[in-house]
Chain A
Amino acid sequence: MSSHAVNPAAAATTGPPGRAERPVWEEEPTRISRVGKPVVLAIVFLIIAFPLYVVVVTSLSSTEAVTRAGGLVVVPRDLTVAAYVQLLSGGVVTRALVISTAITAVGTAFSLLITMLAAYGLSRPGSLWHRPLLFVVLLTFLFGPGIIPSYLLVNSLGLIDSYGSLILPTAISAFNLIVMRAFFMGIPNELIDSARIDGAGEFAVLTRIVMPLSKAVVAVVGLFYAVGYWNAFFNAMLYLNDNTKWPLQLVLRTYIVQQQALPSGAGGVTASPGLGLTPAPSLAIKMAIVVLAVVPVLLVYPFIQKHFTKGVIVGAVKG
């Protein structure tokens, strides 16, 4: 099993080679730890990487390969991208992919913009009403409004069945706002004051001084938002009655978790002839939907990682 585990993410995140020195005062590692540690690490690695590997291989397998394996495919043989071609040639999955991408893009831009503005607005020491306003933000950590009142509100705003219902209610993460504000507060006051003396207004200070210094935190917060929008499914389930508006996660839930028959538009063969050998709907197509849901996350992941280690978040913890 193990020999096939290849995780795309692992390749992408390979760090600089090197080896830290063991401090002189530390004992030699015991034999147990010398053997045990790599074993434990390998297990941890496989538990996470192996399912992804199987899903990718199955999504690339032909009907024959799936049949031969009796389901999921572990050993790759005669690979084909047929499932992806079918999925991306129009139909439910293509549309869901477009919708998810659009919501993620628009939502992230919107969230990032207002978060940045507010984070800066709240980051200047001694400014008017910043304490009560900050309190309004922080209080949202302590309680949620509840599903039912939220539903009633979204309904009374007429947002049912609109994409706005997938963006507006979740547009602000107090957490992201606080992370960004913390970073802005770390920017030396002298820089800002000197800009102000040069006659720059607050907006100019934000765009010309603060932003260029905060690329890392903006990137990380933006990616957090993006991942959040991409992964969200519950609001879509709640607020969208019209299934032609479904984002990808809802499609994933419907066809994979709930195992409903694939729609004819997605090229899914609803049922297979034969005597119980072939899995009812094409497994490769289902797994390809899973892969499509993961890929964007894998793509942005290296960036998240890179900026993490730059100390944005970690620095906040270190305090």
Chain B
Amino acid sequence: MTTVDEVTTPTEQEPAPAPPRRRPGRPNWRLRLRRDWPLLLMVTPVIVLLLIFHYLPTLGNVIAFQDYSPYVGIRDSEFIGLANFSRLFSEGAFWSALANTLTITTFQLVFFFPIPILLALLLNSVLSVRIRTIIQGVVYLPHFFSWVLVVSLFQQMIGGAGLLAQSLRSHGFHAVDLMTKPDSFILLVTFQAVWKDAGWGMIVFLAALSTINPALYEAAAADGANRWRRLWHITLPGLRPVIVLLLILRLGDALTVGFEQFILQRNAVGADAAEVLDTYVYFEGLLSGDFGYGAAAGLFKGVVGLVLVLVANKFAHLVGEQGVYSRS
């Protein structure tokens, strides 16, 4: 996420062409091949790996249109058109998983998204370099923890046998197990996500803040703008491109809410609250060996996700921002 603008305009970033490399009218590709073959060779391993482990399985999604049996194979399994999809759309559990996914995404968008911005503003206003460094170092540390670890830590703190329950019990209160309450599960996962990644998200905003020209603030202050007006008229507009960009990326990921986080906790709270699309594919498709059906669910997710990014990006262009990518 941090190199967003690199991603943004991959093809527009090339510096002024070096004279011997790009002749007008484009040189014959044979000549260029003779010149550039070592570069192509260097790229080959990555391309091969991506083709095998990313593109090939993407093609494997054809089993979504098959009555696929692993004992028969892709070639000999019968094509059944959209039967898997019609089964998918008639399945209550699927709609429940979709609803959970969208609810949790929306919730996190509203409650998680602003936190890194607030953290960045807060930290940016701290004058002591030492405190700043310490806090910064601590808040983005959890980004580098695995979800297994994060869930383990939460369990030890607020789970049924955790520190909170333990001290409540020893003081004669009724212990609560916050890790298994479906009603508050959305709060739990959001809090976990904030705990793990808010600090990391903050970096981007800190960087963006540092690019705002201090002279703007000084001029505004001289014009009598107080801190809130400066925040509104200088800081936030300065952060706008980054905010829009991250929002788009988030939207593209709307159907992906921390797979590992959910798979680790689904059984503790029950499928009703914790089944999301990814876990649905895993449990209903993979573990039961119902591959065609699971692939259909996965494909649905992938396609909708793709559409969301494209739409969001279009929207960004409409409001005059660069977006994730632009036509070159």
B125 CB–A CB distance under 8 Å: yes
Instruction: Name the interface residues of B273-298: CB closer than 8 Å to any CB of A.
Output: 278, 281-282, 285-286, 291, 294-295, 298
Chain A, interface size category, equals: 35 or more
Instruction: Name the interface residues of B115-135: CB closer than 8 Å to any CB of A.
Output: 119, 122, 125-135
A114 CB–B CB distance under 8 Å: yes
List chain A residues, Cβ under 8 A from B6: 178-179, 181-182, 316
Q: Cα distance A141–B206 when bound, in Å? A: 25
List chain A residues, Cβ under 8 A from B301: 146
Given A72-B163, A297-B145, A313-B2, check contact A15 B134 (CB 8 Å): yes
Instruction: Convert A94-134 into 0s and 1s, putting 1 for each residue whose CB lies closer than 8 angstroms to a CB of B.
Output: 00000000000000000000110110111011111111011
B203 & A189 in contact (Cβ 8 Å cutoff): no
Q: Cα distance A13–B138 when bound, in Å? A: 8
B157 & A168 in contact (Cβ 8 Å cutoff): no
List chain A residues, Cβ under 8 A from B4: 316-317
Closest to A230 in B: B146
List chain B residues, Cβ under 8 A from A294: 145, 149
B129 & A231 in contact (Cβ 8 Å cutoff): no
Closest to B163 in A: A72
A17 & B129 in contact (Cβ 8 Å cutoff): yes
Contact of B130 among A15, A23, A152 (CB under 8 A): A15
Given A23-B217, A203-B38, check contact A148 B291 (CB 8 Å): yes
A148 & B221 in contact (Cβ 8 Å cutoff): no
Most buried by B among A115, A174, A314: A314
For the A-B complex, the count of residue pairs with Cβ-Cβ distances under 8 Å equals 352
Q: Cα distance A115–B46 when bound, in Å? A: 7
B161 & A15 in contact (Cβ 8 Å cutoff): no
Q: Which stretch, A48-56, A78-86, A262-270, touches the partner chain B?
A: A48-56
A136 & B302 in contact (Cβ 8 Å cutoff): no
Contact of A114 among B40, B49, B134 (CB under 8 A): B49
Q: Cα distance A134–B47 when bound, in Å? A: 9
Given A125-B17, A178-B10, A317-B2, check contact A74 B163 (CB 8 Å): yes
Given A148-B291, A294-B149, check contact A301 B141 (CB 8 Å): yes
Given A48-B139, A128-B33, check contact A140 B133 (CB 8 Å): no
Closest to A279 in B: B161
List chain A residues, Cβ under 8 A from B42: 117-118, 120-121, 202-203, 206
Contact of B222 among A25, A145, A168, A203 (CB under 8 A): A25
Closest to B179 in A: A257
A126 & B134 in contact (Cβ 8 Å cutoff): no
B305 & A185 in contact (Cβ 8 Å cutoff): no
B161 & A23 in contact (Cβ 8 Å cutoff): no
Q: Cα distance A203–B39 when bound, in Å? A: 9
Given A127-B32, A137-B50, check contact A13 B137 (CB 8 Å): yes
The 14 listed contacts between A and B (C-beta, < 8 Å) are A9-B137, A16-B129, A117-B43, A128-B29, A149-B57, A149-B60, A149-B298, A185-B13, A206-B42, A231-B146, A234-B263, A256-B155, A317-B5, A317-B208
> Interface residues, chain A, CB within 8 Å of chain B?
7, 9-10, 12-23, 25-27, 33, 37, 40-41, 44-45, 47-49, 51-52, 54-55, 69-72, 74, 114-115, 117-118, 120-122, 124-131, 133-134, 136-138, 140-153, 168-169, 171-172, 174-175, 177-179, 181-182, 185, 189, 193, 201-203, 206, 227, 230-234, 238, 249-250, 252-253, 256-257, 279, 287, 290, 293-294, 297-298, 301, 304-305, 308, 313-314, 316-319
